[in-house]
Structure 1
Amino acid sequence: MNVELTNARWFKSSYSQGGSDCVEVAFLEGGGIGVRDSKNPTGPALVFAPGEWDAFTGGVNDGEFDRR
């Protein structure tokens, strides 16, 4: 699936503290969510459907990905 990302408005978390080791997120036309490496903004990006993004962020909030 090809998604046009030229006009996407990318942002980092307010917790990133200006570092370069971050991911950037963009809410795309059509409802998709783009994720890319902030160190390589012209490189590849992942694009998720809204339900996939909701499942991921829900898992993060629930501690599903915490290291034990």
Structure 2
Amino acid sequence: MRHTEFWARMDDALGAAYARSWAGSFVIGELGGRTAAEALDAGVPPKEVWAAVWRTLELPASQK
């Protein structure tokens, strides 16, 4: 998964206006106590970050 696909999925899940704000402010324990944006900046693969976001938001399997 590329960063562009990650952000497209975030936009689909949370809406374009809120996705980046949420990714930059919501701390996810599964990502080492980092936000999704911090994890991406630290080099965590977007696929891993998306999986953590997906579980945190309890999104449907169709969005996995």
Higher helix share: 2
TM-score band, normalised by shorter chain: under 0.3
Bigger relative contact order (CA 8 A; separation at least 6) = 2
- Bigger-Rg structure (1/2): 1
More strand by proportion, 1 or 2? 1
